Each structure stands twice: as structure tokens, then as C-alpha cells.
Structure 1
Amino acid sequence: MGGFVGRRRQLAELDAMTGGLDSGLVVVTGGPGVGKTALAIHWAHRAGIRFFDGQLYVDLRGHGPGGGASLPTGAALAYLLVGLDVPASHVPADEQQAAALFRSVVADRRVMLVLDGAASADQVRLLRPGGPSSCTLVTCRDSLVGRTAYDGGRVAGVQPLDRGNAVRLLAQTAGERLVAAEVAAAVRLADLCDGLPLALRIAATALDRAARTPIADLVARMGTGDLLAALEVHDDPLARLDTVFGHSYHALDDASRRLFRLLGTLPAAATTAAASDTVLAAAMETTVAPRTGLLYIVAVNVPRGLATTFVSGVPRASTSTGFPVRRALANAAAALITKAGESGDEQYLVRAGTASAICHA
């Protein structure tokens, strides 16, 4: 797959998860724009020889641009059955009957099924092949739900690219010579994009190639104004970072949206104690629904330097309306520690340490 860099550990992890006789279900999770689909498709192509009866791909549109409706299960089953040479006229209108037919068709086959962009476990359950030799690879955004909701599923987390691979991806998309001529600016641009492959690809298209120093110029625009506006693709309003992230944001309840906005101001508010105290005091009073991926994002991204301040007033007891911030972050820390033990990757321990420091400092 063109423009794919790094991810050696994740590819090896997927190989190990699907290497047995029962390939089963694997859930690839991560935030918006982090490269879940690219990883899933790249690995599926590489592992395709093991699934000699076919590879099937369905975009479930769970987090599609513009917040459009997810693909109905019946429509997904119809795509799969037609892809398996079942005449469209023979596809049952009833979802349960269509699912039964799908399972019977693939029961004795070794197939790879990629379900991209799942919004919920319900979207996936009827789409799983019945045979033990097939593999279902699902991509979704909610890491904590991905761990608990998909019964029997193994979870592979996708994080942003490290700096070296982020610069490599920028060189592949913008051009090797361009990046080689502005290495320092390219490194700064990779940092401003937070290692997100989607942001890096958009940045590559936003460069003014007629300029003498296009990368440095883009970095300057991002440093003095709205980062999202600097990375806007003018001829495609759907190819925008705020659109991609907005779908997940708008799916949150009101309290979670408020907490997200408050925590988003922390890096700037931390420049003065008074401003930081004001933001954190408001965040402490917010309770969020037990099932939300927002708290995982918080656990991963809240800076360590804010941990002591952050815990000063967080209530420890739960309420009937939801989890306080402290309890939800403790749950996120536990999940990250479990993931560290499973994968042997120290990055999960670092993030778990951040969440734990916030909860217990």
C-alpha cells in the first residue's frame, strides 16, 4: 500500500493474533486519523495468501465524513454475499436470514473479512463468518469498548507515528527532495501534526511548492494561526481534520463534550495558575457517561506536568449519573496496563503512568 511507513510492531502483533488454527476476530483501535484503515488494509494484503478463499472489504461508515448514517447491517450482508457470488436476487431481505446464509456460504472457506469503521458491536456481530478458519479484522475508534464489547476479540492498538516515521511519511507524500532540503522544518511539521498520518498527508497537499521554503512557510502559518485552517483542503470540505474528529465529538453526550472542551484548553490555561485553576475546577465538577471513549483520550493525552494540579479536587465517589473524571481515568489506566502486559510495549506503561498520576498523585 503506497504511503505506508513503520508499524512493524503492529504488523507482527496482527500476525501473532491470527497465526493459529482459529484466526477469529481482531479489533484494530485508535483515534481519528491515526492510520487504522491503512494498517488493516496493508496487513490484509500481506496476509492474503493465508486466506486463499478470498478477501472481502466493507466500509461500515461508522465514523464517515460529515456524520452520515452508518451502513445498515442488511446492506453490508448484501455486499458480502454478492462478493461471494450469491446472486443479488437470492439475498434475503431479513437480516437474520441473510446472516445465516452468509455463515453457511463461508463455513468451509478460509476468508479474510475487513470491516472498516465500526461504530458499535451491534454493527459487527451478524457480519462475522461462522467458520473457525476465517479472520475478521475490524477497525473502530473506541479502544475501551473495543476491549470489552467484541466477545472473544483480540485488540491491536494503533498510536500516532513516532517522529522518524512521521517525517518518512511526509517525505513519501510531499517528496523526498523537498523534505531533504528542509529537514528541521519537516521535523517541526511532523510534531505539529502529532504524528497523525491523516494530518501529515493533508499537510503535504497544503504546501505551496512555488515558495522557496514551502515546509517552513506552512509551519509558520500553523504557529501563528488556526492549525486546522492551515491544513484545510479547500477543494474538498470533507477532507478536513475538524470533520474527521467532529463525528466522534458530536456523538458524545453534553457533559462529555463540555469536559473535552475544558481539557482542550489546559495547555494554554496552564501558562497562568489562575487560568489553570478555573479550567480544572470546572472539569472536576463534570461527570461523564460510563461508556465513552473520551476518557481514554484524556488518559493518553493529559500532560504529566498537569497531573498534580488536576487531582486537587477530583471527587473519588461515583454518582448515579455517571463516572467522575478520577474513576474513569483509573479505569483507563488499568486498561492501558493490561495492554502493556499483553504487547510488551512500554508506550502503554508511559500512558498508564500518566493516568495513574492524575488519579493518585
Structure 2
Amino acid sequence: MPDRTTAARIDLRRLRLRAVLTQEELAFKAGVGIRTIRDIESGRTRPQPRTLRLLIEALGAEAEPVAAAAPRELPRPLAGFTGRELPLESLLAAVDGGAEVVAVHGTAGVGKTSLAVRAAHALADRYPDGQLFIDLHGFSDAEGLRPALESMLTRVIRSLDPACRARPEELDELTATYRSTLAGRRVLLLLDNASGAEQIERLLPGTPDSLVIATSRRDLSALLSAHAVPLGPPPLHEAVAMLDAAAGGRVTADEAAAIAERCGRLPLAMGLAAARLRSRPQWKAGDLLDRLADEDRLLDEIDTGHRGVAAALHASYRELDPDHRLLLRRLGLNPGDDVDVHAAAALSGIDADRTSGMLEALVDV
């Protein structure tokens, strides 16, 4: 017959106090070390089956099943996170006002995930039943990374209710189980890097107890009742502060401003530029600026492979259909920084009305 204590845990401190025993007395009675008692009560260790059996016998108690610890999956907040006061305040105020879904959208590398993670950590205590982080891989530089809806639903169910035996094969039944699992729980779901509103819609809880923070390069305004937080490049003074924090004080305000402008004030690009400067102790800010001056080599200078700016841009490019890809490539032939609809239409060979809509679509990625 299997030892049932292997599938159970006890609230040792509560049972010990109920038995009016000190830690030393319980250790002596059970024949275990005092340090073992302390480590179990503090949560630093989980008792082995034999130890658990001895403790139960010494206390005259029954093993009590304990619910699995609530998942705490949020990534570490970005070290040196600074600025973004207005969008962060907007997000937190929306939650204070009762928002159940907050959607952060903006271009690649603008800092959506960093903002969402920072906000999620600030709100974590309000959602004691768990904080889940799910990368939806809506925009990815590699094929095959986007998870199926079934796998995401199942993952959340298992995280929140490991004892749940129901694993419906039909998507409708699985979705119902997902919503039933979330019902009555206060859970924070951070759904990162969505391909669009439809991907988020399928993962929304059916009850108002939980909070969803979603990020995407596309506008998620199609999510009804969602509070939108559009995120653009930070103002110059915030960009300077970000670079100063990331570079460890190795740049002056003027140098930081120049680097920020070379990087389009995109936090991802600025962070990579600062990392390059930190990795070259012999460099001065001027050396980095010289390398960033060549627009043809700018991306190469701050490239780090799959997490670089080029990879982020390529992930957006992969999501475009052939006509949008053609238009984007042809826009690169324009000699200036600005282009109007008629010039874009002439470059792409597409009529002006359709080009206007396509330009709007490109803004969203």
C-alpha cells in the first residue's frame, strides 16, 4: 500500500503550537534534528517521507493536504528601470479604477515588456492566487515558436490547479475548464508579445476577479473594455536618464542625448548601446558615437543575435504579407526621413487609397 504521507504536507508550526510543544521538544520526541524542524517551519525545505511520518506520529496528527503554492512567474524587473512615469501611472490608475484588461502597444524595442513587468510587480500583492507570465511569441524571429491555444490553456490550468484531472481534448471544453479554474481566484496574467487582439481575446477570464496585462506591437483596441496604454519612444530627458543608468555614469548628459538620438530613443537599442560601452572599458562615449554614426552599420554595432534590434525588426517583417513587405522595402529607397502617401504609392506601384491603409498597418508593427 503506498505511503500517503508522500503526497501530503503538514502545517508544522500550527500543529506544534496546538500540541503545546517547543521546537526542541518536538525534535526530541520525533527523533529529528532541531535544524530540520526550523527549516521545515520556515519553508526552506520540504520534509522527506520518513521525516514527515515521524513528525505526524510525534504530534498525533494526520497529514493534511496543502494546496500548491501560488505560481509566481513574473520575470525580474529590468535593473535600472527609470522614466516611463506617465504610462506607468496610467496603467496603475486604470487598475485602481476597475480595469480588468490593460493593453500596452507600441513598436518593436520600445519597452512594452519592461513596463508591463514593472507594473505587474507593483500590483502582485493584489493578486495572491498567482501571477503568470506567458510569452505568446506573436512576433518571433524564428518559425514554430508561437504556442497553440490548447497548450496555453492547459499550462494555466496546471499552474493554478495541479490536482485537476480534467484535460478535455475538445477546445471548447478546455476553454470552459480554463475559465472555471480562474473563477473565484485573483490572478494576474501577463500575456506578452501578442500577435493581436484575437490571441488575447481567447485567453480572457470569464469572471472579473483577475487582471490581464497584455503587450503587442499591434493596437489592441479591438479588445472591448480594455484600457489602452500606447507606448512610444520616451522623451529626450527620460532617454538621457535611461542611458545614464544603463551606462553606469560613463556618459555626460550631452553624450547620452546624442547616443539616444542615434538609437531613435528606443530603449532596446539604447540598452544595447550602453552594454557595448560597458563591455569596452577602454572606450569613451565618443568612440561609441563614432561607431553609431554610420547608418549602414548601425544595427551591426548594437546587434546581440536573437535579442538584438535587427532580430526584433525581422520578427515584425515576418508578420507582413508580400505587399506590405514590398512597400516597406520600397520606402527605404526614399532619400528623406518623411514620405507622403502619393510618394509611397509611386514607389510601390500600388494605388494611393490602398497605400494609405497599408501605411497605417505598418505603423502598428
TM-score (norm 2): 0.70
* Counterparts in 2 of 1:253 and 1:15: CA distance versus 1, 3 Å: same
Say yes or no: does 1:170 pair with 2:201: no
Q: In the alignment, what sits opposite 1:228?
A: 299
What are the within-5 Å matches in structure 2 for residues 149-160 of structure 1?
150-160=223-233
**1:311-339 deviation digits (Å, cap 9, x = unpaired):** xxxx4xx5xxxx332x6668999x9xxxx
Match in the other structure for 1:185: 255
Paired AA for residue 355 in structure 2? P
Report the Cα offset of residue 89 of structure 1.
5.2
Q: Partners in 2 of 1:89 and 1:152 — Cα distance?
A: 33
Q: How does 1:98-109 map to 2 (within 5 A)?
A: 98-109=174-185
Residue 87 of structure 1: how far off its partner (Å): 3.6
1:37-186 alignment, distance < 5 Å: 37-87=113-163, 90-143=166-219, 146-148=220-222, 150-176=223-249, 178-180=250-252, 183-186=253-256
Give 1:276 shift: 10
The one-letter amino acid paired with 1:19 is D
The one-letter code sitting in structure 2 at the alignment partner of 1:210 is P
CA distance in 2, matches of 1:35, 1:171: 17
Q: Aligned ranges for residues 177-256 of structure 1 at < 5 Å?
A: 178-180=250-252, 183-207=253-277, 209-213=280-284, 215-224=285-294, 225-233=296-304, 237-256=305-324
Q: Distance in 2 between matches of 1:330 and 1:121?
A: 17
| CA distance 1:197–1:212, shift in 2 (3 Å) | closer
In 1: Cα distance, 2:132 partner to 2:245 partner: 28
Cα distance in 1 for partners of 2:312, 2:281 equals 29
1:7 to 84, 87, 93: 84
Indicate the residue corresponding to 2:106 in structure 1: 30
Secondary structure of the 1:83 match is helix
- Contact residue 66 and residue 243 of structure 1 kept, 8 A: no
- Note if contact 2:330-2:348 (Cα within 8 Å) is conserved in structure 1: no
The answer to whether the 8 Å contact 1:67/1:247 transfers is: no
Equivalent pairs, count: 285
Q: Counterpart of 1:282?
A: 346
Q: Residue 101 of structure 2: SS of its match in structure 1?
A: strand
Task: Quickly say closer, same or farther: Cα 1:88–1:32, change in 2 above 3 A.
Answer: farther
Q: How far off its partner does 1:269 sit?
A: 7.9
Compared CA separation, residues 68 and 163, structure 1 to 2 (3 A): farther
Q: How does 1:296-307 map to 2 (within 5 A)?
A: none
Shift of 1:125: 2.4
Larger radius of gyration between Structure 1 and Structure 2 = 2
Q: CA deviation at 1:196?
A: 0.8
Native 8 Å contact 1:40 1:114 kept in 2: yes
Report percent identity of matched pairs: 31
SS at match of 2:189: strand
Give secondary structure in 2 for the equivalent of 1:10.
helix
d(CA) in 1 for partners of 2:329, 2:120 = 37
Deviation (angstroms), 1:20: 3.4
2:282 alignment partner, SS class: coil
Whether contact under 8 Å (1:206, 1:232) holds in the other structure is no
